Structure 1
Amino acid sequence: MVEHPHDDEAGPLSLSRTHDTVLTAPAEEPAHSRRYGRRVISVTSVTALLTGLNTSGLDVALPGIIRHFQASAAQTSWIVLSYLLAGTVLLLVWGRLADLFGRRRLYLTGVAVFAAASVCCALAPDTRFLILGRILQGVGSSAIVANTTALLADSFPPERLPRALGVNATLISATQAAGPLLGGAVTNLWGWSGIFWVSGATGLVALGWAAHILRPDRNSGPSERFDLAGALLSVLFLGGGALALTESGPRGWTSGTVVLSATVSLAAFLVFPLVQSRRRYPLLDSWLFRDRRRTMALLAAFLTATSYFSVVLVMSLYLQTLEHLDALSAGFQVMLMAVGSMLTSLLAGHLSTRCPARMLASAGTATSALGIAVLALALGPPAPAGLTGLGLFLTGAGAGLFGVPNTDALLSLVPAHRRGIANGVRSLLQNTGYLISTVLTLTLVTGHGRSGEGRGTTPPALDLNNSPEALAGRYQTALAVLFCLCLAATAASLLRGSALPPEPPPTRTAPPDRPGPGKSARTEGTE
């Protein structure tokens, strides 16, 4: 017998090409084995610590970064936004590439890039290098995020997927809860760069564990072509739009940079659907939006992300500037939001098999709206610790209650070989919500976009020469905007309609264009 361990097409049963002898690989587990599914969750939980530490954890360390670099409001915004911008722009591309070339390859690449970028951030001598490192972190993070849910969906059968998503969401919430706490502790011990050193070390651990656990990708190459034109147009559309949005504050809507970015984004947006309609294998198939349940699930995910994401940033800045807490103490309080999400995510995983996604997800967004309203009313200074704690807990609890049923409802309406791009679209809209939420919050709270700011100018939200009432008003205005967005998310979730049996996977015959030399015209599965 001759084994071929490096033959990518070899599965649990491999035929020796020499003697046609069946070889059984006992180490290979069934596709949906409980043991393998739990191992995949352990992988995603470690990488969740990476992304959680660089969002909620960095929020707590942000005041220290501002003081160290004497960063202006615009530079402060880009330290936060560059990570989200790079991650958002590439989500569709990573999701589609994973469908074609394998999730494991793309996932490991993302973890490696993220770990290396974290070390670059820790060594940054000034804000320019720090922002460059944050961009590279976003590139790696987008590859991780675009593949996480699809990896889980491939590892669990449909009847166990909601619970798996609930467990994964609980672990993510736990890392988000640890993010502010760990970020505050690391910042107090080693300064702002400690956040990135810990991320680099955790990234190396995550890379080794994922390489050990995740099964090798079976396909030796794509069965469909990658839509390069669509990928370039999506990057131009998303990148140009995000750049115009973030630069409109400090430069104004009439500046050359903003006008050029907006023009490129609009042109790419108009050309993108035309190009996609002519592609046999488009980057983004319009089929995904033809069902109201899928469309409303995606819209609700976008609005929910926009409404709750910046609550941690708002409260971290508020507690350290107006309540005069140190980074660790602020991290303890903000941690309540992730604790709420952690508890309800696990509950939502069990309830998703019994309750309609429409009602469960809508109850979640309504709970988050109540929590944000409590926070807006509680801000002082001084703000009652009990009310702020309650508001943070309710906001996180609602987010946890929403995420699991909404994601499960979306994936149940998507065929397996399109989970990568479907999750990429969901992650894209979610990250776009994060980006818009952060831009709005920084504009309203730190004064990003106000004229007269230069290098070394203290952002108004950190300038204690302003009256406490004026500063508190900034935070309350930001929370009021987030509250309205959360109400809109509740409406979108309710509009998805009544629960219906999942529609069968749609089939699409390839367009009747002539095949190339040596190729046959054949139908390529479902889309």
Structure 2
Amino acid sequence: MSTTDSRRVSVLVGLLFGLAGLGSSSAAIALPVIADGLGVSTGVSAWAVSLYALMLAVATAVYGRVSDLVGIRTPLLFGVGLMTVGAIAGALAPSFGVLLAARVLQGAGAAAVPTLGVAVISSRYTGSDRSAALGRVAGVASALSCVGPLAGGTVEGLLGWRAVIALPVLGVLLVPLLWRSLPTDGSGARLDLWGAVLVAGTSAGLIMLVQSPSTGVGVAVAGALLLAMGVPAVAWWVRRRPHGFLPMSVLSNTVVVRSSIAAAAVPGSWFALLIAVPAVLVGQGWEPWQVGLALLPSAVTGLAAPRIAAPVLDRIGGTSALGVAGLTVAAAMVLAAGGAEIGSAVLLVLAVVAVTFAFGLGQPALMAVVGDAVHDDVRGVALGLATLMFLVGGGIGSAVVGGLAHPLGMPGALLLLAGLALLGLTALVPLRRAELEPSE
């Protein structure tokens, strides 16, 4: 494939990816207004971001497996259509409960984009072209997502928060432009829906437990029960269906699992700051559009990230790039904690810029590492599993801020995320050691 083709396809995939991200970044800026409009607290309103992130995480692996079975074109069309329906339903929601249901649909649809978009790149390009294309996807996506706060704040000021929720419908305009680049070949194997349900329930339990301080004991108990029952149930199901939703060949691949664990801190920090920064600044009297304007430097960083990410990946490799991304987000969370403590917009903006850079480097690094670690016949599900773990980190990040900012304080919640990022980096140590060992 030509460089021109890779540039065109990767930009389109990045725009589609960015619109999926816009569903969280634009909505996050409007959370205080949504809370007032629907009669809930700001902590409770954070569920609109957490559930979106959860569905992004869980459904990505479903789409990854479906792409292995029937190709990429049909599931991508279905996902973008579902994202559109969810966005419209959310914009019309008469109550917060209906809004949450719509956000679940919207997230389930948007989940098609990360895995399937990356699968398109991985299947069409190799070598430096693929590294450059993956970096371009991440850069365009993060830039558009970073513009989300400004777009959300501006649209909210002009048309209200309901129009903000509807913004991702623009994704339907990009599908025709990608149509001929979407593979339609698949293996025709069966989809393990029960495995998907078990993983979804277990992930939901974790998110509910973390965010329960904002919603009460009932949610905490429900989350704990889902988690306690889900973990052994998933383990049992994987043993029973080793070629199912979570293939044993992928789960037993230490490169896939360890890389995904380490990378999860990147979206965790991103989703956390999407909620924390508006909460702190709006609490100081800022308008949503002013918060969005302050975050524009992160959009510039997102656009510049591909020029940095591609050569870095080629020079130091995916594992080391993941380490750099993890250290960057840990430092950014410490910086953000200081900004939240003293109410400094400068420190908060610098933290978002750092996390944007880490996203632009970490996401393509993870996809490159995973893509190289598995066989072609399970690449889609491996990328889906990696993206699942990657985005579950996003759900945990938003849940920590939404649920623990009250008992710990916002600085305490952000410092907790910094600690989790450093803990996740320990998963890379064996992989790095293996890379440094001389080959026989």
- What is the TM-score when the length of structure 1 is the normalising length? 0.76
For 1:111 and 1:207, locate their aligned partners in 2 and report how far apart those are by CA, in whole Å.
Answer: 8
Alignment of 1:250 onto 2:215: yes
Which residue among 265, 277, 292 is the counterpart of 1:303?
Answer: 265
- 1:41-190 to structure 2, matched below 5 A, reads 41-72=10-41, 75-190=44-159
The verdict on how the C-alpha distance between 1:183 and 1:361 changes in structure 2, with shifts beyond 3 A counting, is same
For 1:446 and 1:208, locate their aligned partners in 2 and report how far apart those are by CA, in whole Å.
Answer: 45
1:236–1:265 CA contact under 8 A, matched in 2: yes
CA offset at residue 70 of structure 1? Answer: 1.6
Which residue among 462, 486, 492 is the counterpart of 2:427?
Answer: 492
Which residue among 300, 310, 313 is the counterpart of 2:275?
Answer: 313
CA offset at residue 253 of structure 1? Answer: 6.8
For 1:207 and 1:195, locate their aligned partners in 2 and report how far apart those are by CA, in whole Å.
Answer: 21
Counterpart of 1:285 in structure 2 is: 247
For 1:87 and 1:363, locate their aligned partners in 2 and report how far apart those are by CA, in whole Å.
Answer: 25
Which residue among 478, 482, 486 is the counterpart of 2:413?
Answer: 478
Q: Using CA pairs under 8 Å that are at least 6 residues apart, name the structure with larger relative contact order, 1 or 2.
A: 2
Counterpart of 1:410 in structure 2 is: 370
1:50–1:203 CA contact under 8 A, matched in 2: yes
- 1:190-201 to structure 2, matched below 5 A, reads 190-200=159-169
For 1:433 and 1:254, locate their aligned partners in 2 and report how far apart those are by CA, in whole Å.
Answer: 20
The verdict on how the C-alpha distance between 1:312 and 1:345 changes in structure 2, with shifts beyond 3 A counting, is farther
Counterpart of 2:237 in structure 1 is: 272
The verdict on how the C-alpha distance between 1:88 and 1:352 changes in structure 2, with shifts beyond 3 A counting, is closer
Question: Once the two structures are superposed, what CA deviation does each residue of 1:324-352 show, in whole Å capped at 9, x if it has no partner?
Answer: 21111111223334433442343111221
Which residue among 334, 359, 382 is the counterpart of 2:295?
Answer: 334
For 1:441 and 1:329, locate their aligned partners in 2 and report how far apart those are by CA, in whole Å.
Answer: 21
The verdict on how the C-alpha distance between 1:366 and 1:57 changes in structure 2, with shifts beyond 3 A counting, is same
Partner SS for 2:94: coil
Answer with 477-486 or 488-497: which moved more.
488-497
Letter in structure 2 aligned against 1:113 = L
The verdict on how the C-alpha distance between 1:195 and 1:157 changes in structure 2, with shifts beyond 3 A counting, is same
Letter in structure 2 aligned against 1:443 = G
1:349–1:405 CA contact under 8 A, matched in 2: no
The verdict on how the C-alpha distance between 1:38 and 1:248 changes in structure 2, with shifts beyond 3 A counting, is same
Answer with 263-272 or 236-245: which moved more.
236-245
Counterpart of 1:521 in structure 2 is: none
Answer with 59-68 or 43-52: which moved more.
43-52
The verdict on how the C-alpha distance between 1:477 and 1:112 changes in structure 2, with shifts beyond 3 A counting, is same
Q: Once the two structures are aligned, what percentage of the paired residues are identical?
A: 23
In our comparison, the structure showing a higher alpha carbon Rg is: 1
CA offset at residue 51 of structure 1? Answer: 1.4
Question: Once the two structures are superposed, what CA deviation does each residue of 1:358-413 show, in whole Å capped at 9, x if it has no partner?
Answer: 33322222222222222222345442x44343333223223323332232122111
For 1:416 and 1:274, locate their aligned partners in 2 and report how far apart those are by CA, in whole Å.
Answer: 23
CA offset at residue 149 of structure 1? Answer: 0.9
The verdict on how the C-alpha distance between 1:361 and 1:88 changes in structure 2, with shifts beyond 3 A counting, is closer
Letter in structure 2 aligned against 1:497 = R
Letter in structure 2 aligned against 1:312 = L
Alignment of 1:208 onto 2:176: yes
Which runs of 5 or more structure 1 residues have no equivalent in the other structure? Answer: 1-31, 448-472, 502-527
Question: Once the two structures are superposed, what CA deviation does each residue of 1:138-194 show, in whole Å capped at 9, x if it has no partner?
Answer: 110122222111111012123421111111111012102211111111111111011
The verdict on how the C-alpha distance between 1:290 and 1:155 changes in structure 2, with shifts beyond 3 A counting, is same
Counterpart of 1:217 in structure 2 is: 184
- 1:504-519 to structure 2, matched below 5 A, reads none
The verdict on how the C-alpha distance between 1:476 and 1:288 changes in structure 2, with shifts beyond 3 A counting, is same
Counterpart of 1:349 in structure 2 is: 310
Counterpart of 1:401 in structure 2 is: 361
1:53–1:175 CA contact under 8 A, matched in 2: yes
1:173–1:339 CA contact under 8 A, matched in 2: no
Letter in structure 2 aligned against 1:394 = A
Letter in structure 1 aligned against 2:324 = A
- 1:360-399 to structure 2, matched below 5 A, reads 360-383=321-344, 385-399=345-359
The verdict on how the C-alpha distance between 1:346 and 1:102 changes in structure 2, with shifts beyond 3 A counting, is same
2:72–2:184 CA contact under 8 A, matched in 1: yes
Letter in structure 2 aligned against 1:282 = G
1:49–1:176 CA contact under 8 A, matched in 2: yes
For 2:199 and 2:309, locate their aligned partners in 1 and report how far apart those are by CA, in whole Å.
Answer: 34
2:266–2:355 CA contact under 8 A, matched in 1: no
Q: What RMSD in Å do the two structures reach over aligned CA positions?
A: 2.6
Figure out how many residues of one structure are paired with residues of the other and give that number: 436
The verdict on how the C-alpha distance between 1:489 and 1:337 changes in structure 2, with shifts beyond 3 A counting, is farther
For 1:242 and 1:431, locate their aligned partners in 2 and report how far apart those are by CA, in whole Å.
Answer: 12
Counterpart of 1:261 in structure 2 is: 226
Letter in structure 2 aligned against 1:265 = G
Letter in structure 2 aligned against 1:209 = L
Answer with 232-241 or 48-57: which moved more.
232-241
The verdict on how the C-alpha distance between 1:156 and 1:414 changes in structure 2, with shifts beyond 3 A counting, is same
- What is the TM-score when the length of structure 2 is the normalising length? 0.90
Which runs of 5 or more structure 2 residues have no equivalent in the other structure? Answer: none
CA offset at residue 135 of structure 1? Answer: 1.0
Partner SS for 1:355: helix
